[in-house]
């Protein structure tokens, strides 16, 4: 293989692979990227066997061929080149020579057949969706995906095409829950939509994180589809496949609280600042603080025998009876961090019932936080 390519173009594509190449795997080949030069393009592949990414860019193909090279090492080398041209040429033993301006180096490679088989996504039925819409759904749910591998069915987000032909995404770690539905104008499914999508799938946390990291929000197109036991995302020259989590996602409708009479509207930034201040007095083990709602506003209180106690009251537009409940303050901060509005709606039924938080200007997303015992 011999190609001439722009170092910047190659850097951009290698960046997309960095989240899936493994530095710790017992399979050394998973640290490598597969490079294939053909028909005026360089195609790159990387995988950790659960998440795979393929992407490509233009290059001058002087000799067709393929090789696998250590992905992080190649990325670190190429991104530090200051010339506008790079020639990569492989030897018979699959070592690669890199020449760019006054830089000459040689790195180890392996036979391309050593690389895991690439999932064939040709012929897959793809469903277009607005990029901003999907990235917004990921933003609103990723933070509440469980990290507990003992509950594998919660270590991903539930993703489904609803009966109304919109997209639904839900995540929970047992302590909080996030739910969002896509704007019907941004996605449209037909009657023949894959039944598995109708039933719902569970997309692993890592796959969602990588999608958020590498998909350009300014790109003009994004689509998804199913092949075997994987979901496939395509945007421009990039294709990412993510192996789905097996199992059943819990019936989240059982924990969605019914709309109650105790409802407050609070300025988001003011609430966030108050949480950060009062959290200084919370137990470092439980992170517990108390919220009290009344006609006088929203009072935040925390105490710890070794830290002392702190209290702050902020204005709130409140209707209902006086009520108080305890929470892990980090869960409240996480929700505020993904809300787009200037205000937050807070509905506390009682001390032990799930609490509902949402953007009062939009019905697309809601967040449930389980209280802690006071």
Dump pLDDT digits (tens) for 144-155: 999 999 999 999
More confident residue, 260 or 104: 104
Question: pLDDT, tens digit, for every residue of 302-332?
Answer: 999 999 999 999 999 999 999 999 999 999 9
Q: Is the per-residue pLDDT at 190 higher than 80? A: no
Q: What is the pLDDT of residue 184?
A: 65
Q: What is the pLDDT of residue 259?
A: 76
Q: Find the range with the poorest average confidence among 159-173, 216-230, 360-374.
A: 216-230
Q: What is the pLDDT of residue 186?
A: 67
Q: What is the pLDDT of residue 54?
A: 97
Q: Are 274 and 283 in contact (CB under 8 A)?
A: no
* Rounded average pLDDT over 356-362: 94
Q: Is the per-residue pLDDT at 183 higher than 80? A: no
Indicate the pLDDT class of residue 191, thresholds 50, 70 and 90: low
Q: What is the pLDDT of residue 306?
A: 93
Distance between first and last Cα of the chain: 67
Percentage of the chain exceeding pLDDT 90: 81
In angstroms, the CA 242 to CA 227 distance is 10
Q: How far is CA 238 from the centre of its chain?
A: 17
Q: What is the pLDDT of residue 217?
A: 63
- Please list, residue by residue across 119-146, b when 16 or more beta carbons sit within 10 angstroms of its beta carbon and e when fewer do: bebeebeebebebebbbbbbbbbbbbbb
Question: pLDDT, tens digit, for every residue of 3-35?
Answer: 999 999 999 999 999 999 977 777 999 999 999
Q: What is the pLDDT of residue 189?
A: 65
Q: What is the pLDDT of residue 323?
A: 95
Q: What is the pLDDT of residue 270?
A: 98
Q: Is the per-residue pLDDT at 350 higher than 70? A: yes
Question: pLDDT, tens digit, for every residue of 210-248?
Answer: 999 998 766 778 999 999 899 999 999 999 999 999 999
Q: Find the range with the poorest average confidence among 16-25, 33-42, 114-123, 136-145.
A: 16-25
What backbone phi and psi angles, to 5 degrees, belong to 99? Answer: -130, 125
Q: Are 149 and 155 in contact (CB under 8 A)?
A: yes
- Annotate the chain with three-state secondary structure: CEEEECHHHHHHHHHHHCCCCCCCCCCHHHHEEEEEEECCEEEEEEECCCEEEEEEEECEEEECEEEEEEHHHHHHHHCCCCCCCEEEEECCCCCEEEEECCEEEEECEECHHHCCCCCCCCCCCCEEECHHHHHHHHHHHHCCCCCCHHHHHHCEEEEEECCCCCEEEEEECCCEEEEEECCHHHECCCCCCCHHHHHCEEEEHHHHHHHHHHCCCCCCCCEEEEECCEEEEEECCEEEEEECCCCCCCCHHHCCCCCCCCEEEEEHHHHHHHHHHHHHHCCCCCCEEEEEEECCEEEEEEEECCCEEEEEEECCEEECCCEEEEEEHHHHHHHHHHCCCCEEEEECCCCCCCEEEECCCCCCEEEEECCECC
Beta 2-5 vs 86-90: how paired, if at all? antiparallel
Beta bridge partner(s), residue 55: 44
Question: pLDDT, tens digit, for every residue of 47-85?
Answer: 999 999 999 999 999 999 999 999 999 999 999 999 999
Q: What is the pLDDT of residue 192?
A: 61
Angle between the 71-78 and 7-17 helix axes, to the nearest 10 degrees? 150
Domains of the chain: 2-114 (3.10.150.10), 126-252 (3.10.150.10), 256-369 (3.10.150.10)
Question: pLDDT, tens digit, for every residue of 256-267?
Answer: 988 778 999 999
Q: What is the pLDDT of residue 68?
A: 98
């Amino acid at each position: 293989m011999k190609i001439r390519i722009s170092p910047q173009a190659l850097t951009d594509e290698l960046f997309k692979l960095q989240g899936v190449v493994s530095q710790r795997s017992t399979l050394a080949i998973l640290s490598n990227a597969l490079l294939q030069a053909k028909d005026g393009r360089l195609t790159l592949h990387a995988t950790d066997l659960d998440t795979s990414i393929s992407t490509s860019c233009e290059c001058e193909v002087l000799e067709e061929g393929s090789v696998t090279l250590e992905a992080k090492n190649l990325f670190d080398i190429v991104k530090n080149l200051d010339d506008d041209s790079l020639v990569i040429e492989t030897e018979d033993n699959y070592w690669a020579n890199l020449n760019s301006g006054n830089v000459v180096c040689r790195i180890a490679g392996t036979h391309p057949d050593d690389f895991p088989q690439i999932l064939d996504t040709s012929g897959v039925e793809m469903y277009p969706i607005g990029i901003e819409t999907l990235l917004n759904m990921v933003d609103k749910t990723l933070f509440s995906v469980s990290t507990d591998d003992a509950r594998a069915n919660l270590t991903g987000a539930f993703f489904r095409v609803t009966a109304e032909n919109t997209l639904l995404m839900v995540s929970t770690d047992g302590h909080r829950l996030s739910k969002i539905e896509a704007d019907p104008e941004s996605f449209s499914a037909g009657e023949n939509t894959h039944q598995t999508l109708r039933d719902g799938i569970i997309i692993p946390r890592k796959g969602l994180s990588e999608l958020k990291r590498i998909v350009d929000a300014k790109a003009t197109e994004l689509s998804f589809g199913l092949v075997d036991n994987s979901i496939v995302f395509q945007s421009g020259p990039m294709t990412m496949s993510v192996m789905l989590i097996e199992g059943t996602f819990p019936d989240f409708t059982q924990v969605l609280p019914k709309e109650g009479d105790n409802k407050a509207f609070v300025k988001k930034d003011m609430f966030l600042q108050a949480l950060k201040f009062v959290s200084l007095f919370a137990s470092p083990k439980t992170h517990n603080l108390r919220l009290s709602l009344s006609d006088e506003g929203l009072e935040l209180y925390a105490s710890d025998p070794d830290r002392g106690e702190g209290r702050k009251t902020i204005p709130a537009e409140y209707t209902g009876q006086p009520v108080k409940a305890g929470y892990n303050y980090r869960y409240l901060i996480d929700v505020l961090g993904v809300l787009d509005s200037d205000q937050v709606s807070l509905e506390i039924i009682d001390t032990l019932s799930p609490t509902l938080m949402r953007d009062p200007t939009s019905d697309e997303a809601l967040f449930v936080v389980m209280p802690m015992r006071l």
